[in-house]
C-alpha cells in the first residue's frame, strides 16, 4: 500500500479545440488539504501549473503531443493524461504519474458519455460553448476538488439536466391579476386571524 494514498487523483480536466488547441474549458485542481501557496515541488499533488502562462504552455504542448497519438493514454510532463476526441474537441483528464490509469480513463469516458446524453449526441465546440453551464456542472458532478465522485454518465446527466417541462407548466396557472392577488391577501389574512384566535 502506498504511504501517500489519497482520494485526490485528478490534476486537471481540459476541453480543447482539436484544430487550434485553444481552451474551451479548463479546470485545474489542487488537493483540498494543500496550503494555498503550495507548489508541486513543496507539496505532492499540488497544482503544477498555478499561472495561466504555465497552463497555456502545458495545454499547447499536450495538444501537439496527442495530435500524433493513436492511443488514449500517454505520459506527458511527468503526468498521466487520458484523452478522447469527439467531433472537433479533445477531452483530457490529467493525473499524477503514479495514478491509476483505469480510474482516469473511466473519468474521461464518463465525461464523454454524460456530455453525449446532455447535449443530445451533438458534442462539438459550438454546442459546448452554448451549453457551458451544463458542461461545467457535469464536470463538477464527476469531480470535486480532484476527487472522483461519480463515473456513471446516466446519473451525472440526471443530476445536471434541466427540470422537466411539465413541472414548469403548473406554475403558469397562478392568477397574478389584481383580483387574484387580492384574493390571496384575504385568504392569508383569514388564516392568520384563525391562528391568532387559536393561540389565545
C-alpha cell at 52: 495561466
The whole-number pLDDT of residue 109 equals: 94
The whole-number pLDDT of residue 1 equals: 41
C-alpha cell at 38: 503550495
- Its pTM stands at 0.73
Q: What is the DSSP string of 171-195?
A: GGG---SHHHHHHHHHHHHHHHHHH
With beta carbons less than 8 A apart as the criterion, state whether 144 and 159 touch. Answer: no
The whole-number pLDDT of residue 38 equals: 61
The whole-number pLDDT of residue 24 equals: 93
C-alpha cell at 45: 499533488
Report how far residue 43's alpha carbon sits from residue 177's, in angstroms, rounded to the nearest whole number.
Answer: 62
C-alpha cell at 96: 499524477
Digit-by-digit pLDDT tens for the chain (200 residues) are 455 567 888 999 999 998 888 999 999 988 766 666 665 555 555 677 778 898 899 999 988 888 888 888 999 888 899 999 988 899 999 998 888 899 999 999 999 999 999 988 888 899 999 999 999 999 999 999 889 999 999 999 988 886 555 544 455 556 667 777 788 888 888 888 888 887 75
C-alpha cell at 81: 493524461
Amino acid at each position: 500500500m502506498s504511504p501517500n494514498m489519497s482520494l485526490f487523483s485528478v490534476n486537471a480536466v481540459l476541453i480543447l479545440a482539436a484544430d487550434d488547441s485553444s481552451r474551451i474549458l479548463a479546470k485545474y485542481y489542487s488537493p483540498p488539504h494543500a496550503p494555498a501557496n503550495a507548489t508541486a515541488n513543496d507539496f505532492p499533488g499540488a497544482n503544477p501549473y498555478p499561472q495561466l502562462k504555465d497552463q497555456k504552455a502545458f495545454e499547447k504542448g499536450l495538444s501537439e503531443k496527442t495530435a500524433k497519438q493513436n492511443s488514449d493514454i500517454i505520459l506527458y510532463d511527468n503526468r498521466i493524461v487520458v484523452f478522447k476526441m469527439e467531433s472537433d474537441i479533445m477531452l483530457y483528464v490529467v493525473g499524477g504519474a503514479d495514478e491509476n490509469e483505469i480510474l482516469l480513463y473511466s473519468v474521461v469516458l464518463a465525461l464523454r458519455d454524460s456530455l453525449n446524453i446532455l447535449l443530445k449526441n451533438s458534442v462539438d465546440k459550438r454546442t459546448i460553448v452554448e451549453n457551458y453551464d451544463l458542461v461545467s456542472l457535469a464536470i463538477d458532478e464527476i469531480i470535486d476538488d480532484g476527487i472522483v465522485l461519480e463515473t456513471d454518465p446516466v446519473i451525472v446527466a440526471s443530476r445536471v439536466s434541466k427540470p422537466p417541462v411539465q413541472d414548469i407548466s403548473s406554475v403558469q396557472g397562478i392568477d397574478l391579476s389584481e383580483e387574484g392577488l387580492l384574493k390571496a391577501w384575504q385568504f392569508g389574512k383569514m388564516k392568520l386571524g384563525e391562528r391568532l384566535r387559536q393561540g389565545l
